[in-house]
Structure 1
Amino acid sequence: MCTVASPPVHSCSNCGHLLARPDIAIPTSPLPHLLDGNQYAEGSQISVIHDAITLPLLLISTLDDEISRQETALTELRRKRDGIESYVKVHRGLLAPFRWIPEDIMLEIFMHFKDEWGNKARFSVKHGPLAITGVCQRWRNIALRTPSLWSSIPVAIDSYH
């Protein structure tokens, strides 16, 4: 059997295992003249074809096993990458400029929104001081320690007929 050129060989950076299997090549047909037309195989050609596909069928199975191993390794690498990316994202958050704003300035910012909150028709977790308490622990603590944020809470009373 003749073989076609293989792509560059890549190996595992940890163990050196060859990933692209340079030892396995795509075979060439022992009967190429039968592939180009509607000719059929005769007599001894049939056994040649059977012999020609026996090893490639085993190679397909071998490659399927190798693909499965490499997909498992790739899945693990992606899981680790996602974990590290999450780690970086969380730690980048620690550097956010908003974390450095002093508490008294944060309180001043909260108080600027107080008038707008009073215009809401109903008390809601989406508006007012309750919304602040759901952002983070620091904002919650600031809001809960500031009675003036809670001094007016809108209450809507529905009329019943």
Structure 2
Amino acid sequence: MKHLPKHLRPRWRYLAVELEAWPDAGVRRGEFQRAVWFAAANLLGDPGSADADLRVVEYSFRDGAGEALVRARRGEVDRARAALACVSEVRGDPVRVAVRGVSGTMRAAEENYLGETAEPSREDDVAFGGGGERSGVARGERVDVDDAGSWVGATRRDHG
């Protein structure tokens, strides 16, 4: 089978995406891909989802933070961004999805937008709610506190 001539091949845009979840969330690539497809189908319908043709081409996630490179057809970037904004959970874990930027090549997207995962996380004991110390995970100014098996998002206290 012959390849299509260059002028007939589909053109792609690559969306660099930042992911953030609770520290114990284990979001795998296939689960994120299904969540993206589901969000696109719900927002755009089956024909619109097929036109956008969203596909996760690169993915990394650990310790509650990660990034992905999502491919979309040229001309469908706005619809792809809208579909990604509709992803609020993956396999029951709440997830924040933010598009860092869009490029015409994978290489440009990687160089310009990827490699800047959320601040490194570190576990620590924190004072929370006047009830003594609890286990927590700090990422920059944000702190996720383990409150009897569920997570609570907080910020650092000012010592002014």
TM-score between the two structures when normalised by the length of structure 1: 0.22
Richer in helix (by share):
1
TM-score between the two structures when normalised by the length of structure 2: 0.23
